[in-house]
Structure 1
Amino acid sequence: MQLPGWENSTSLLASATEAATEASSEGEYGTLLLTAVLLNLVVIYLASKIGGEFSNRVGLPPVLGELVGGVLVGVSALHLLAFPEAGVEPSSSLIIRFLESTAGLTPDLATAVFRDQNDVISVLAEIGVVILLFEIGLESNLKELLEVGIQATLVAIVGVAVPFAVGTAGLMILFGVPAIPAIFAGAALTATSIGITSKVLSELGRLNSKEGQIILGAAVIDDVLGIIVLAVVASLAKTGEIDVSNVIYLILSASGFLLGAIVLGKVFNKTFVSVVDLFKTRGGIIIPAIIFAYAMAYFAAVIHLEAILGAFAAGLVLDETDKRKELQRQVIPIADILVPIFFVTVGAKTDLGVLNPANPTNREGLVIASFLIAIAIIGKVVTGLAVFGQPGINRLAIGVGMIPRGEVGLVFAGVGSASGALSKPLEAAIIMMVILTTFLAPPLLRFVFPDSGLEVETTEAVPELDRAANRQP
């Protein structure tokens, strides 16, 4: 005999049991996913720290070591960090296999965990590059940018236009590369790392020389122009086609966005300082600044520009406040946590195997890499010819000082990789170009300044550049 409502009660009990089981499974999956993300971060930070320390000890920028560390733990070597877009299966990931043997990860869940962990790491890397561009904006002193004069401006324009035009046209004409990837690679050739150059010039006692000031001013302007080019190119990559009207719109909107942010910043600066002075708890200045940076990044994305352009504009605006130095100090630990994720991830996704000369199918990629490296060097060396009215100035030194791409070039490579616009050979070729120009710049600068060390420089006047040389442009 069944009691009234027994069938309904049984159905409810079954539903409750099923819901409890599903909740338990979701809880278990969430724990496994968190564990996988934490292991990925352990690998990322170890690769970042070891690579950065080694690079610093041999006189190279730490960020280059972070990139190489990412290459070693990624798809090109150890397979500790593996990403689906790099063509890696879950079974090839050492972290997934480790979780299967230690945390009870089942093959059924392995694919989902592998996919979702990489989504989390990729999002963290994107936030890292937003913070990176915000910090670069903070270090790009707007007043100095406006005071460097026509010489630095001409050097910067030539340093962007020549490698971009020659690189893009060469890839399309000589190698048959499609327009969007060719434009992306050409854009990567426009970058200049102010951090690397300023560090070497300081060591040579040439930071305050005419050549040094022109190089630094041009590098700052170069960064601004490069960010605009990157925003335009990344937007083109999303649409997948080149529309002249769209290109004009993107250039005008990117330029207008930066100029508008700077003009409005004159009013916002006082408001920002007044609001910050009201806060007495921890994070009184950095939290409002990050909110502003994220909001500007959002507005840039809304008008079909890259979020990083908004973050860069936010940095330029806040650089004009009375709280600039304090803000720069407080953003450093945030950048130290998030930015390495971006650089190590870029390295981990780069398959240098596509440049293996033993494989005949890779030889075109090697030729492309050689072409990009040649254009990267020549396209910057000729910038010295743009200097006029300066008798006795070392034009070759100015051109050589513009060569290193450093972390700025990696930003282009990372955004291109994330957009899917770059093929594996082209992406690897860009990475090789960045590495080689970064390695070549310090010894070449020492060569073109044979009498270095005769002048006495004071680095107290440029503490921000010393800080930038260890991380950012």
Structure 2
Amino acid sequence: MFVNHTITAFSSGIAPLIAPIPLLATVDPENSPIVLSGVLLSLVVIYIASKLGAEVARNFDLPPVLGELVAGVIVGVSALHLIVFSESGLSASDSGIMSVLQSLNHLSPAALTSVFESQSEIISVLGELGVIILLFEIGLESDLNQLKQVGVQAVVVACVGVAVPFAAGTVGLMVIFHTPAIPAIFAGAALTATSIGITSKVLSDLGQLTSKEGQIIVGAAVIDDVLGIIVLAVVASLAKTGEIDVVNVIYLIVSATVFLLGSILLGGVFDKTFSAVVGQLKTRGNIIIPAFIFALFMAFLGNAIHLEAILGAFAAGLVLDKSDARTELDELVKPISDVIVPIFFVTVGARADLRVLNPAVPDNRAGLLIAAFLIVVAIVGKIVTGWVVFGVPGINRLAIGVGMIPRGEVGLVFAGIGSASGVLDKPLEVSIIIMVILTTFLAPPFLRIAFGDSVVPPGTGEPASKQIV
């Protein structure tokens, strides 16, 4: 294809040597370079925002990920409108980057809309790839043996962290606010989520990922994600048909269990195979490319069986954690993670519409009251999970509970599906979004406070209180 294009270009005397290739099938080939321009400009904004946000957060002794989230809010729909997404109901005219492209290219309204939708989709996919790589890195940094040791505690924490907020949220909405049963169940389900991507990144920033508390939180968050998928399947089918699809629920439970346990058992076999493959490869990328092939394939499997791609990536990291090349692989993954992962956190912040907090808007007022209730349930319902941990003396129970608080993008998925299905009215939808935003932004500083003097800065071997400033 490359040769044919080149020969044609030379023979016809045309300046471009290669014809433009659309980034997406839906893009007019003529507008493909403009979509690419939009993506490149978006990435420039994202990287500047993430780095400035991380540096400011670090100067205030806060986790860098919090700075990235706040920076996303500033460049997103709540403030500068530089990074906005078509799926949120916004138009191309709402995007600052689209305004720049329009001034440079004088596009028709239809062409501008097409470019905006394509650019939004590409940035969203890059964000998804970012969280996949993050979970692969977290899996590599996690100790599988230690995860097995805290496995029972993690299961208990996850189950309580799902059951308590779900029951309290559903019953409270029905009794206090007289919300109909199905919307109340949907809102209660949104309270069950835990964002493993945000929590694990904060734990890594605080140097607590491999601590007992960190391993319980990560293990519980993984299980919580699986339980969240099952809960979402239940409430989604309830919203559509008014009844639960039992077969689908059983399928999800069985497939999730087999997938995770199978991945762990695979670790004892595949790590030796991986080392043997790496030993045979002599060209550049002999370690990182096979590792990413495995991680992306596991992510594909997780997605293909209707679980989450991030679960597959995490499982891949756990499997490769025991390989002989693990130490070198750790160092090779970090720069890739540094480039791709910030896209995820900035876009999460960019999607957070803080305008729903404005009480001057009539539709927001009822939502603010419900949101206050949901926030209390969301925080208390996860904090209590720290007190169900057993058999681990001296454990920081508050840190475990706080680590389960952030809902992040998982909670927004619940709100989006509920809104699209027509189950949620505007006040309830607004209240869920407010709950997701506040729990996402409160968790990082609260987790820093919960660990206190035991925080170990990355790359050091002793608590922050013992470091020489």
Listed as ranges, the matches of 1:7-18 within 5 Å are none
In the aligned structure 2, how far is the partner of 1:106 from the partner of 1:457? 54
When structure 1 is superposed on structure 2, of 182-191 and 108-117 the one drifting more is 182-191
For residue 398 of structure 1, what is the aligned residue in structure 2? 397
| Contiguous gaps of at least 5 residues in structure 1 | 1-15, 447-451, 467-473
What's the offset of the Cα at 1:255? 1.4
Partner of 1:412: 410
User: Does the 8 A contact of 2:302 with 2:308 survive in 1?
Assistant: yes
**Contact in 1 for aligned 2:168/2:188 (Cα 8 Å):** no
Q: 1:385 aligns with which of 384, 387, 402?
A: 387
Summarize the alignment of residues 111-190 of structure 1 with structure 2, pairs less than 5 Å apart: 111-148=113-150, 154-155=156-157, 157-167=159-169, 169-171=171-173, 174=177, 175-176=179-180, 178=183, 181-182=186-187, 184-189=189-194
Higher relative contact order (CA 8 A, sep 6+): 1
- Do the aligned residues in 2 keep the contact of 1:355 with 1:428 (CA within 8 Å)? yes
Change (3 A) 1:86 1:237: farther
**1:223 alignment partner, one of 212, 221, 232:** 221
- Provide closer, same or farther for how the CA distance between residues 124 and 436 of structure 1 changes in structure 2, counting only shifts above 3 A: same
Alpha-carbon distance in structure 2 between the residues aligned to 1:296 and 1:115: 29
* Equivalent position amino acid for 1:399 in 2: L
In structure 1, what is the equivalent of residue 434 of structure 2? 428
CA distance in 2, matches of 1:320, 1:30: 44
1:151-193 residue CA offsets vs partner (Å, 9 max, x unmatched): 6664554344433443455456654462674355222258683
1:178 is paired with a residue whose SS is helix
Q: Which one of 301, 317, 320 corresponds to residue 318 of structure 1?
A: 320
What residue number does 2:360 align with? 358
Shift of the alpha carbon at 1:78?
Answer: 0.9
Cα displacement (A) at 1:416: 4.4
Matched, 1:100 2:105: no
Q: Say which of 333, 345, 348 aligns to 2:347.
A: 345
Distance in 1 between residues matched to 2:110 and 2:338, nearest whole Å? 36
| Post-superposition CA distance 1:54-74 (Å, at most 9, x none) | 112212211121111111111
Structure 2 residues without counterparts, runs of 5 or longer: 1-11, 21-26, 421-428, 465-469
1:9 alignment partner in structure 2: none
Match of 2:372 in 1: 370
Closer, same or farther: CA 180–344 of 1 in aligned 2, 3 Å:
farther
8 Å contact from structure 2 (residues 39, 123) kept in 1: yes
Identity between Structure 1 and Structure 2 (%): 48
Contact 2:73 2:349 in 1 (8 A): yes
- Match for 2:407: what amino acid? G
Q: Secondary structure at the match of 1:274?
A: helix
Does the Cα contact within 8 Å between 2:159 and 2:224 map onto a contact in 1?
Answer: no
Question: More displaced, 247-256 or 141-150?
Answer: 141-150
Change (3 A) 1:355 1:246: same
Aligned partners of 1:378, 1:162: CA distance in 2, in Å? 9
Deviations 1:14-53 (A, max 9, x none): xx9xxx9xx7895541211111111111111111111121
Aligned length: 426
- Contact 1:293/1:311 (<8 A) preserved: yes
Letter of the 2:299 counterpart: A
Q: 1:144 to 1:289 in 2, by over 3 A?
A: same
Q: Over residues 365-417 of structure 1, what are the superposed CA-to-partner deviations in whole Å (9 max), with x where a residue is unaligned? A: 323432333223322333343355778x57xx5134421457x6324246547
Aligned counterparts of 2:417 and 2:288: Cα–Cα separation in 1: 30
- Specify whether residues 91 and 436 from structure 1 end up closer, same or farther in structure 2 by C-alpha distance, changes over 3 A only: same
Residues in 1 aligned to 2:460 and 2:418: alpha-carbon distance in whole angstroms: 42
Tell me the C-alpha RMSD between the 2 structures.
Answer: 3.6
Per-residue deviation at 1:420?
Answer: 7.0
Q: Following the alignment from structure 2 to structure 1, what is the Cα–Cα distance between the partners of residues 265 and 337? A: 27
Closer, same or farther in 2 for the Cα pair 1:119/1:238, shift >3 Å? farther
Cα offsets for 1:263-283 (capped at 9, x unmatched):
122111111110011111121
Whether the 8 Å CA contact 1:131–1:339 is kept in 2: the answer is yes
2:33 to 19, 31, 34: 31
| TM-score normalised by L of structure 1 | 0.78
